Amino acid sequence: MTSARQAAHQAALQIEGVLLGKRERVRLALACLLARGHLLIEDIPGVGKTLLAHALAQTLGLRFQRIQFTSDLLPADILGVTVFERESGAFLFRPGPIFAQVVLADEVNRATPKAQSALLEAMEEGQVTVEGRSQPLPAPFFVIATQNPDKQVGVFPLPESQLDRFLMRIDLGYPDRASERELLQGEDRREILARLKPCLEPAELIPLQEAAARVHVAPALLDYLQQLLHYSRKTPHFLTGLSPRAGLALLRGAKAWAFLEGRDHVIPEDLQAVLPSVAGHRLRAVSASGVDPAEHLLSAVAIP
Amino acid sequence: MIRARPNATAWMWMLAVLLLAAAPHATHLSWPILGLCGGVAMWWGMGVWRTGDPPILAMPWRMAAVVFVLAVNYAVHEKWVAGRDPGVALLVSMMFLKLMEIKGPRDANLTMTLSYFLVTVLFFYDQSLWMGAYVLLMGLLATIALAILTRPAGPWVHRLSSARVVRRSLRSAALLVAQALPLMAILFLFFPRLSQPLWGLNEDAFRTSSSKVGLEEVMSPGSISRLTLSGETAFRVTFDGPIPPTSDLYWRGLVLWTFDGRNWRRPSLPLPSHPPMAKYFGPPVSYTLTREATHQPWLLTLDLPSELPEGAKPANDWVVPWDDPTHRLPRYRAVSYTAYRADAGLRKVPAQALQMPVRGNPKAKALARGWAESFPPAQVVEQSLLFFRREPFVYTLSPPLLTSADPVDEFLFTTRQGFCEHYAGAFVFLMRAAGVPARVVLGYQGGEVNRFSRHLTVRQSDAHAWAEVWLEGEGWRRVDPTGAVAPERVERGAAATFAGGLPEFLRGEGVFRQEFRFVWDMVQERWNRWVLGYDPERQRLFMSHLGFEGVDWEGLAAALMIGLGLFTAVAAWLLLRRRGAPPDPLVELRARLDRRLAEAGLPRRPEEGPLAIAERAAGRFPDKAGEIRDIFQDYARLRYGPDAEVSGVAALRERIRRFTLPKPEKGG
């Protein structure tokens, strides 16, 4: 347990070394992975989305595949195809890029809904069905999708039901001055990435996820969580409240965060730390008042 | 509400309450029952002590125990369950047998609830103030035990230490008992009183003292001086007007006519039935007399009564027979005159007034005949008193035993030491020997005036015997030969006369002790008068004071039922509305921390978690940063962690108690 925790800590440090000045985001991404959730990174191109995905996969010693989503991408390009093999005289399934442990779905909102749904189904089921045959996906299976902000041209925004499939949505944002300076002075990120050594064996990740799920949740914390959920549902500020699935997601995220923080129990701060990224894409303010819905929710509910 | 499973502390509390509730019953339980109950209690207590859970005995054994109890009952009382003693024996033993089948909180609740009944049954044996206090205390203890047993299983209950559970339960039990007190008062005042006792209880139930001491219907040498050693109260009197002087306070009880050579008794032959005849002089004395519960079937009156309570009819020797089936505290009003003439116009005195054994006591008879030959009857009386006064008679509590066949002679001419029964008996003997009709009167003389409530307390130690002689034209005249020997006995009372030889409580040494005795006597007087003396008559009086005339007990019962039913319904509705788990001790602790921070000018924002506020406070008070972080980390660990141990909560409470922050500067 302790060594696993140390390994997770080590991994976080290593990734932070690649993605300069993004300590909290890196930890959120790691927590999302530990909580067996999928991660959506929304930001403009060039802030390091792909780099983060790469670094995560490499540091954790996972098999990595990247799918570049384009408007002409077909489901088969993601899932794989069945081809007739002349030598054996049989149909053979050739797995697509989704059969990896970490899948980077780059610019997921540039693809058509049909292609998007192929990916999202796989995320949900943990398996893909090609021509009537179910093919299990490897474990752990972690999708990092990136998307460009909605306002950009030529995008098919993910519907709410599909956004819900992502445990967390984070943005990366521009680096601060010091990090930017270091970035400009330092060596090529890609070279660093190539040198990264895995901190974990692939087999070690699953016990780590299990340990994170075992983090203790006290009744008092559940009270707080329920009050948050209740508020989101009854307040007129939001179009829709948080779903039960969102509540479960919050709890999973908070547990993983507490685990990364080195605690064996969840405290309200853990919940507060993950809430913007877990609930942010699930809440929609009635009017764009400029206040982030998640921020509003947090400030409106007192800790019991 | 979910109940926590009782722990060893709760079980032990239950056992302790049960033992304490049953303890006073021990005096009237037979020893096999006592052995059974004691054995079960020990076995059960050991079981709980070893395992923390109550041990359970198999059904056949429990059945066998019940059969055993019934058999013992039958052997001891010749009844299976009916009647007071066998019923109580069954109740007590069943309560202990119940221990052996307790599985969970439900059984425990039932047992504790029944223990109230067990305690109340104590009133069947004793209704003194002490027992009242004991029953009240046991009610509180049983309520505490119930509160411990039924404490809710909150998510945080495991964080409370046993001592804290007991303290909390004590608080809620005290509150419950306090709330029950007005209800008790209402039930006491309005619950229909019946003039017949329930369940055919015998007189013991209404005894307020622990032993049966009182005047006996036979007077023999030593029978009254024995009483003098008892400090028990015989009765109390409240006078409407001023209290007559002590030398007039002769409380008439029985008149003894028959002498067998040693003992004086009630007449063996019925007295001639003429109505009592008396003429009264001087101011009437009206008073209310409250007797300690007694089995004596006659009233005590101040010599000589003219008005008696309804239903009391004096015999012609002014003994007032009184048969009270309830044997409650007899309490009655009467009017007496201390100056009177009784039976003055009687033509023929009953023959019993001259009865005496033919044989024996020749010297006394000779002495009396000598007087009779020389003097008329009135002079004979004077001569006799002169004899007592002149000869060296001693009034003493411990006279030598009279062993000869002629006890009167022995007393009059040899020992010459005696108590009032010796003097009264010898005097009446002399009178009869001289042909003057005479009789012995048994009763009490004097009493002690309570300085605080102005009532008169007459104790068993005031028991007295005197004589009455019948003189032509004058009727029955009271003659107290004791007064001739020891005038102070009649003028100042027994306590003053025997200041040296009396038990300590009667001596009245030291002002404080005496004051305390007066106060205590007053309290007992009030208890007897207002609590035990609250009978159907007084209840009717009380109701008519409230404006309800002529309410019968059925109407009262119906009104009480409806009233209490409504009250219970409203109370239940109010209570059920705001039912919830009691507060988490950690929430209280956080509130205390919040207050501490707010006073230091650093109010917690409602959405601020423990570590966040700790960081903020540490930034504001850098020299306290370590302590602040420690406290909040402990709080977060205890509140949200998996294993919040009791000691941790106690330690945190202690740290918060000592934790101080500098106050913000005014205007800064």
CA distance A64 to A68: 13
The helix or strand, by DSSP H or E, that contains position B11, with its residue range, turns out to be: helix B8-22
Same domain, A202 and A253: no
* B168 and B239 co-located in one domain: no
Look at residue B354 and tell me if it is in a domain.
yes
Please judge whether A269 and B610 are an interchain contact, meaning their C-beta atoms are less than 8 angstroms apart. yes
pLDDT at position B1 is 43
Q: What pLDDT is recorded for position B205?
A: 44
A251 and A159 in a common domain: no
Residues B177 and B245 in one domain: no
At A167-223, the pLDDT tens digits run 999 888 888 888 888 888 877 777 788 788 888 777 788 888 898 899 999 888 999
Q: Is the domain of B156 the same as that of B233?
A: no
- Cα(B462)–Cα(B479) distance, rounded to whole angstroms? 17
CA B156 to chain CA mean position, Å: 45
pLDDT for residue B215 is more than 90: no
Residue B69: pLDDT over 90: no
Boundary residue ending a domain (A207, A225, A244): A207
**pLDDT, average across residues B591-600:** 87
Q: Model-level pTM?
A: 0.52
Last residue of a domain, one of B169, B190, B211: B190
Checking phi first, is residue A197 left (phi over 0); if not, alpha (psi -120 to 50) or beta? beta
Reply yes or no on whether the pLDDT at B438 is more than 90. yes
Interface of B with A (CB under 8 A): 155-156, 584, 586-587, 606-612, 636-637, 639-642
User: What is the mean pLDDT of the segment spanning B26-53?
Assistant: 89
Helix ranges (H only) for B52-192 are 59-77, 84-99, 105-120, 129-149, 162-190
B420 in catalytic set = yes
Asked if A203 and A265 sit in the same domain, the reply is no
Which pair of structure tokens corresponds to residue B307?
């008005």
The model's confidence at residue B203, banded by pLDDT at 50, 70 and 90, is very low
Name all contacts of B593-599 with Cβ < 8 Å and 24+ positions apart.
B593/B631, B593/B632, B593/B635, B593/B656, B593/B659, B596/B656, B596/B659, B596/B660, B596/B661, B597/B661, B599/B661, B599/B663
Residue B229 has pLDDT above 80, yes or no: no
B102 Cβ neighbours under 8 A, 6+ residues apart: B54, B56, B108, B111
> b/e string for A146-175 if b means 16 or more Cβ within 10 A?
bbbeeeeeebbebeeebbbbbbbbbebeeb
Whether B453 has a pLDDT exceeding 90, the answer reads no
pLDDT of residue B202: 46
Whether residue B524 lies inside any domain: the answer is: no
Share of chain B above pLDDT 90, in %: 14
**Nearest chain B residue (CA) to A227:** B607
| CB contact at 8 A, A141 and A65 | no
Q: Is residue B577 part of a domain?
A: no
Residues B525 and B363: their CA atoms lie apart, in Å, by 49
- Cβ contact (<8 Å) for B642 and A300? no
Question: Are A272 and B640 inside 8 Å of each other by CB?
Answer: no
Please state, in angstroms and rounded to a whole number, the distance separating the CA atoms of residues B241 and B14: 54
Q: Strands B285-291, B233-239: parallel, antiparallel or unpaired by DSSP?
A: antiparallel
Distance CA B500, CA B515 (A): 20
Cβ-contact A117, A156 below 8 angstroms = no
Residues A233 and A101 in one domain: no
List of E strands, chain A: 39-42, 64-68, 80-85, 90-95, 102-106, 127-130, 133-136, 142-147, 168-170
Examine the pLDDT at B628 and tell me if it is beyond 60.
yes
pLDDT at B195: 61
Give the tens place of pLDDT for each residue, A67-116. Answer: 888 888 888 888 888 888 888 888 888 888 888 888 888 888 888 888 88
- Lowest mean pLDDT across B275-284, B482-491, B501-510, B563-572: B501-510
Residue A226 or residue A123, greater confidence: A226
| pLDDT of B625 higher than 90 | no
Statement: residue B255 has pLDDT above 70: yes
Q: For residues B514 and A275, which has the higher predicted lDDT (pLDDT)?
A: A275
Q: Flag whether pLDDT at B497 surpasses 70.
A: no
Dist. CA A43–CA A170, nearest whole Å: 8
The last residue of a domain, from among A177, A207, A237: A207
Contact B607 A220 (CB under 8 A): no
Mean local confidence (pLDDT), B221-235: 75
- Does a structural domain hold residue B26? yes
B143 touches B173 (CB < 8 A): yes
| Residue B139 within a domain | yes
Strands B339-342 and B331-336: unpaired
Q: Is B640 within 8 Å of A220 when comparing Cβ atoms?
A: yes
Q: What's the rounded Cα separation, in Å, for the pair B557 and A196? A: 91
- pLDDT score for A124: 82
Q: Are B186 and B232 part of one and the same domain?
A: no
Do A202 and A240 lie in one domain? The reply is no
What does the pLDDT look like over A20-76, one tens digit per residue?
Answer: 888 888 899 999 989 989 999 888 878 888 888 888 888 888 888 888 888 888 888
Asked, for residue B197, whether it belongs to a domain, the answer is: no
Burial A236-251 (b: 16+ CB within 10 A, else e): ebbeebbeeebbebbb
| Residues A120 and A268 reside in one and the same domain | no
Q: Which of A169, A187, A207 is the last residue of a domain?
A: A207
Q: Are residues B310 and B425 in the same domain?
A: yes
**Residue B658 confidence (pLDDT):** 85
Q: Both B467 and B591 in a single domain?
A: no
My answer on whether A49 and A194 are in the same domain is: yes
Same domain, A80 and A134: yes
Residues of B in contact with A219 (CB under 8 A): 155-156
| Residue B200: predicted pLDDT | 45
Q: Do residues B255 and B126 share a domain?
A: no
Q: Flag whether pLDDT at A151 surpasses 80.
A: no
DSSP secondary structure letters along B145-158? HHHHHT-B--TTGG
For position B4, what pLDDT does the model report?
A: 62
**Sequence-ordered list of residues with C-beta below 8 angstroms from that of B155, at least 6 positions apart, any chain:** A218, A219, A220, B584
Check residue B128 and give its pLDDT.
81
Do B157 and B230 sit in the same domain of this protein?
no
Q: Work out the minimum CA distance from A290 to partner chain B, whole angstroms.
A: 20
Q: Which ipTM score applies to this complex? A: 0.84
Q: Where is B439: in which H helix or E strand?
A: strand B438-445
Q: Tell me whether residue B259 is in a domain.
A: yes
**Is the CA virtual torsion B575, B577, B581, B584 positive or negative?**
negative
Q: What is the mean pLDDT of chain B?
A: 82
For residues A83 and A173, membership in a common domain is answered with yes
Count structural domains, chain B. 3
- What average pLDDT does the segment B69-75 reach? 84
Q: Which of B640, B643, B645, B649 to mutate to test the interface with A (most CBs of A within 10 A)?
A: B640
Q: Which of B480, B521, B584, B634 is catalytic?
A: B480
Pairing of strands B305-307, B331-336: antiparallel
> Distance between CA B191 and CA B563 in Å, rounded?
12
Burial string for A53-90 (b: 16+ CB within 10 Å, else e) reads bbbbbbbbbbebbbbebeeebebebbbbeeeeeeeeee
Mean pLDDT of the B178-182 span: 88
CATH number at residue A164: 3.40.50.300
pLDDT of residue B667: 45
Residue A304 structure tokens: 């019991």
Q: Which of A265, A272, A300 sits opposite B640 (nearest CB)?
A: A265
Q: What count of Cα atoms within 13 Å lies in the side-chain half-sphere of residue B222?
A: 8
Average pLDDT over residues B401-421: 87
B550 belongs to a structural domain: no
Across B214-223, B331-340, B361-370, least confident range: B214-223
Residue pair B289/B456 in contact (Cβ under 8 Å)? The answer is no
Domain boundary among B465, B492, B515: B515
Q: Are residues A92 and A15 both part of a single domain? A: yes
The number of distinct structural domains making up chain A is 2
Domain extent, residue A291, equals 215-300
Question: Is residue B258 a contact partner of residue B266, using CB atoms and an 8 Å limit?
Answer: yes
- Domain enclosing residue B86, as ranges: 8-190
Residues B448 and B358 in one domain: yes
CB of B396 closer than 8 Å to CB of B373: no
The H or E element containing residue B656 is: helix B646-658
Res. B666 pLDDT band, cuts 50 70 90: low
pLDDT over 80 (residue B42): yes
Q: Enter the DSSP assignment of B413.
A: I
Is residue B306's pLDDT more than 70? yes
Whether residue B464 lies in the annotated active site: yes
Residue after which a domain boundary falls, among B490, B515, B540: B515
Question: On the CB side of A147, how many CA atoms lie within 13 Å of its CA?
Answer: 25
> What band does A266 get if pLDDT is binned at 50, 70 and 90?
very high
* Burial bucket for residue B663 (CB in 10 Å: 0-12, 13-18, 19+): exposed
Shared-domain flag, residues B437 and B394: yes
Q: Do A150 and A11 fall into the same domain?
A: yes
Tell me: do A243 and A201 sit in the same domain.
no
Same domain, B126 and B236: no
Q: How far apart are CA A30 and CA A200, in angstroms?
A: 13
How is residue A238 annotated by DSSP?
A: B
